[in-house]
Amino acid sequence: MPFPYSPIHDVVIAGAGPVGLFLACELRLAGISVLVLKEAQDPGSPLKRLPFGLRGLSAPTIEAFARRGLLGDIAQPRPASNGPGGNAAAHWAGQPRRPGGHFAGIQFYNDRVDTAQWPYRTQGIADTSMAVTMEHIESILAARAAALGADIRRGIGVEGCDASDDIVTVRAGGKTFHTRWLVGCDGGRSVVRKAGGFAFTGTGPEFTGYSVQVEMADPEQLEPGRHYTPFGMYTYAAPGTIAMVDFDAGAFHRTQPITRGHVQTVLRRISGTDVTVTALTLATTWTDRACQAATYRAGRLLLAGDAAHIHSPLGGQGLNLGLGDAMNLGWKLAATIRGDAPADLLDSYAAERHPVGAQILDWSRAQVALMRPDRGARALEAIIRDLIDTRDGATYFAARVWGVSLRYDLDSDHPLVGCSAPDFELAGGTGLTALLADGKGVLIDFDPGEPLRTLAGRWTGRIHYVAGRTGDRPGFSALLIRPDGIVAWASETAPGRAEATEAMTRWFGRPDGKGERS
């Protein structure tokens, strides 16, 4: 239907962090008009650089960037790393075995991980994690979004909104913008979430976490590495990078200035030393508060990233969780706006991503439970250490930390449906990853013939039809891959026309592409 407002954007995104920028890239790839608003004029911050800005990218994130042709730009020389969210120089230096990651500081090692338990993954351990800085990833995503035609305006923060059945009026920076959809990617204190009345519940904080850079008169009093003490936990990397966890129920987080004297007091108590802090050069606090929006959609308002879920940064899962939201949401929202989406496609965003977010929140809570300064936590820690050093234990933790275990419930018993598609080599030597670069779906026919080729032609512009090479056929005849790289349907025998039509209609709408623009 026509709108009485002009100009009007298809989507306004509140927030220009990695999640908002990646979502903008996804929408522009599909030809959707996008306006990105960010309150801060300058995207730079010392906390986005080394050492505190280092973030680990999990397997799903790496795959997402590869599928959109971004990985080459995002990959950069990696500081020595313990997998997602870690820094070997800070935590694991001098070890003869290569750690693959950790759970509450308890390491698992690559030589214990049994990748044979993941039969459909074609990548190796080297492709399951990568470390980059927040500053770097934001710069790459901002450049790509702008190159694709996204309108990014900094210094204009969303202040509120009013939504009707057809349109959202956004108030930002003293101006008014009109849009068909508003997506809150504006962080844990999201204005969009509050304006939309989203329920946001969970568990309160048990600690205040500190990330600080200091100068000390006697740094030799602190032993490098991670240490659990009767009063909390601290990690020290020479000459002055320290992370601390003080179990004060989050009392200090954002309640008063972080001073040199306060940092010294907390550090002395937790470390059990009388170390002297002579200068404080950089400091921030964080907590383990874990909350999630009850739904990710309220009419024409949507949430992604920290606006939808917050938790402690333990294990480095937060960035990956938010980028996964963007990858899942982008193509679905674009198809809805174009009018060629199935009626319930957009609802599948929350249905798929909400359980993933809930699982990550519990994963974070479990790590906090192991970090508590009490005998029960130390006893449980000893058990986890024994388990994580077994082959099955290390493989389980690797699958969770690296994101290899991600699977959406798509009502299929086939082990590959709902999982990330392997990068099959297709006819002509092209890999699946390259075919996903334009944001369209892919139908792989491992028994090439006219029936599927002709059928796929009815979805021209939304689905690529390709023939799989005989040697790459791992026990099935055809696969339907969604634009986000998730296997939507698999047939182990030559599929009938009705079966294939039903699968493609479920995810890509009517073959004629006719629908109402939303």
Alpha carbons 502 and 200: distance in angstroms, whole number: 37
Residue ranges in the chain modelled with pLDDT below 50? 1, 78-93, 126
Which residues, at least 6 apart from 53, have a Cβ–Cβ distance to it below 8 Å? 45, 47, 133, 134, 135
Secondary structure class of 482 (helix, strand, coil) = coil
d(CA 191, CA 448): 51
CA 449, 472, 496 angle in degrees (round to 5)? Answer: 35
Residue 380 identity = L
> What order do you get walking across the sheet with 441-445 strand by strand?
463-467, 441-445, 478-481, 487-491
| Confidence (pLDDT) at 470 | 55
Dist CA 304 CA 310 (whole Å): 11
Tokens of 134: 């927040």
CA dist., res. 240 & res. 177, Å (int): 46
Between CA 484 and CA 138 the distance in angstroms is 20
Residues 84, 72: Cα–Cα separation, whole Å: 18
Contacts of 359 (CB under 8 A, 6+ apart): none
* Spatial distance between the Cα atoms of 216 and 279, rounded to a whole number of angstroms: 7
Residue spans per domain, the chain: 9-75+130-201+291-375, 208-287, 427-508
In contact, 449 and 517? CB cutoff 8 Å: no
CA angle 20, 304, 67 (to 5 degrees): 65
Top CATH class of 427-508 equals alpha beta
Distance between CA atoms of 8 and 178, rounded to whole angstroms?
A: 5
Q: Decide if domain 9-75+130-201+291-375 falls under CATH 3.50.50.60.
A: yes
Q: Mind listing the pLDDT tens digit for each residue in 124-173?
A: 554 667 899 999 999 999 999 999 999 999 999 999 999 999 999 999 99
User: Would you say 200 and 291 are in contact if contact means Cβ atoms under 8 Å apart?
Assistant: yes
pTM: 0.94
| Alpha carbons 516 and 407: distance in angstroms, whole number | 31
Query: Residue 26 and residue 30: Cα distance in Å, rounded?
Result: 7
CATH for 208-287 is: 3.30.70.2450
Residue 366: predicted pLDDT:
96
Contacts of 116 (CB under 8 A, 6+ apart): none
Written as six digits, the tokens of 182 are 């508003």
